[in-house]
Every structure is written in C-alpha cells, then in structure tokens.
Amino acid sequence: MPELPEVETIVRGLARDVRGLRIEAVTVLRPDLIEGEAGEFERGAARARIGTVERRAKNIVFHLEENAPDDRLIVNLGMTGRLLVMDPASEEPAHLGVRFQLEGGRVLLYQDVRRFGRLQLLSSEAWEARSSALGYEPLDAAFTPTALYELARSSRVAIKSWLMDQRRVVGVGNIYASEALFRARISPRKAARRLTRAEATRLHQAIVEVLTEAIEFRGTTLLDYRDSAGEKGDFSRRLRVYGREGEPCVVCGSPIVRIVQGGRSTFYCRVCQRSR
DNA sequence: AGTGTATCCTGCAGGC
DNA sequence: TGCCTGCAGGATACAC
C-alpha cells in the first residue's frame, strides 16, 4: 500500500516522536510478520534505544543503539501495514501485530490487516548487503535522466511494470507509476528499451515531481494508509489518472482507461499517452 | 538472465 | 440477508 511518499511521511513522524527513546519491551502477537523467530526478535529489540530513523526504498530503517545484538530494525509495510505511535490510555487497534513498549509510556504499534508486511532485525552489514541490491533512490542526485535511459535500455518489459521493479528505481509503486507516466505522456505499455532520450528525460522529471509533491501532501490515502499519528494523506485529490477509470482526462477530456499489467491495474489516457 | 504468473491474507463493494 | 466474484499502496518464489 505505501509507496515512497507514504513511507517518507511515516519516517518523518517517527523521527520526531520515537527517536532517542528506549524500547522497554516487545510483544509479537502475529509471529508470521517476523522474518526469523519471533522470540528472538522480541529479545533482540527489547532494551535497545532507538536512534536515527530513515527510509530506504519502501523500507523503514530504525538504527538501534545500546543492548542490541543486531543494530537495524527493518520494517516493510506491505499493502496494509501501519506503524502507529499511541498514548498508553488509547485503545489498541484490531489486527495488531507487534507492540513496542517505549520509555515514557507511549507505545509503538505495528498493525497489518493483510499481514503482507515484514519486520526484521539485521546487523548493519547484512542490511547494507540487502540495500545494495536495490535500485536508485529517485530523489537522490545520482538518479539522472541518463541513468534512467541507460537502465531502461536493457529491458523489454512494459515501462509501467519496469518502474515498479525495485531493483532499478525504488519507491515507485502502483499509484505513482501510473501518475508519473501520465505526467510524462508515455504509454504504460511501451517497452522500457524503446523509450527515447526525450521520453526518459520527461519520465525522470515526472517521477521526481510527483513523488516530491506527494511528500508535501503527506502521501495518498485511498483506503488504508495512515501516518504514524494515524492521519490520512492529502494527495488523493491530486491524482490525475489512478482510480479514475471512465472519468475525463484532466488534459484532453477523453475517458481514462484501466488495463491490467502483471496482475496490477494501470490507469492512463489513450490520447495523451499515445507513444508506443 | 529476464519475464510472466501464482501466492501470501483480510475486507469491502457490487451483482444477483 | 446471504453468497459469490473481483479488487486492493507489495514482494517473492517459482516455472519457462
């Protein structure tokens, strides 16, 4: 469910609210959410102090300090995962997966209806090895129009599916892939290797712009997404094609169509995104 | 190696 | 009301 802007919003909230706090106890209520053994996870995270909280791709990375055999806690939210910071008095939500009791009384809760998310403790070395297999961070300076063009040249996959592959460029999921391609006026069905330089340049700019704007609006809430304070994102109203099947294109007025690529819905304008 | 498909899981909307 | 189908922000394990 959460793509780069949503994860970034969550990370900023966590950095503000839980950084520096000690974890006093950990309870795993749904062991299938834990990569590895749940008891080991509980013991490994308990009594650690939370340091820096950062984002890599769609992963939330907690640096653990003091009393932590593994010094990274990695959380991937899957489709419906949430990390919520709550006051001790508040009622715990349904589908609670993991409870972190924090110094000062508040709790950090991992909640996940569909349980596609995963939590994992790793050494910094093991995490770095995993991270190195991931693609460009789209908001880093190293991600350039040329980098995008060169990478795309090696793949015959449709550009929409290509964008969602985290080994090339990270953070773009089903919503922002459709949105970026609309902004770049490129057909989602076009083979990645057939992008022209001009198209690659437009797509690069569209990815950066749509992700940056979505972060400013604190993400997109369609159904499930909430930030760490339980708040919805406001970018939903700014979506131009995603979820708008049959509605008029904001540019040319022709109806937005929905197709299926790799088992996922793609939304686009047949007129504005003609190039194939 | 690259590519397409199935699978994990629950909830909700819409059709009958 | 109930039952069915399809769909939902992700990632990976397989087959070819």
The one-letter code for the residue type at A77 is L
pLDDT surpassing 80 at residue A222: yes
pLDDT surpassing 80 at residue A1: no
Model confidence at A67, pLDDT cuts 50, 70, 90, reads confident
**Res A264: pLDDT:** 96
**Res A276: pLDDT:** 73
The answer to whether A32 CB is within 7 Å of strand B is yes
- Quickly list H helices, A59-216: 124-131, 145-152, 159-164, 174-184, 197-216
Partnered with residue A86 across adjacent β-strands are A107
Q: Any idea which nucleotide's C1' is nearest the CA of A114?
A: B9
Name the catalytic one among A6, A8, A55, A58.
A58
CB atoms within 10 A of CB A146: 12
End-to-end CA distance of chain A: 29
User: Could you identify the residue written with the tokens 């437009």?
Assistant: A202
pLDDT tens digits along A25-66? 999 999 999 999 999 999 999 999 999 999 999 999 999 999
* Distance separating alpha carbons of residues A154 and A59, to the nearest angstrom: 26
Is residue A142 within 8 A of residue A170, CB to CB? The reply is: no
Is residue A273 within 8 A of residue A206, CB to CB? The reply is: no
Distance in angstroms, CA of A195 to C1' of B14?
39
Is residue A180 within 8 A of residue A202, CB to CB? The reply is: no
Q: Any idea which nucleotide's C1' is nearest the CA of A162?
A: B3
How much is the pTM? 0.97
Q: What DSSP string runs through A21-44? A: PBEEEEEES-GGGBSS-HHHHHHH
Sign of CA dihedral A65, A230, A212, A4: positive
* Distance separating alpha carbons of residues A41 and A99, to the nearest angstrom: 12
Q: Any idea which nucleotide's C1' is nearest the CA of A223?
A: C8
Q: Which residue's alpha carbon is at the shortest distance from the C1' of C9? A: A1
**Res A88: pLDDT:** 87
Is residue A175 within 8 A of residue A220, CB to CB? The reply is: yes
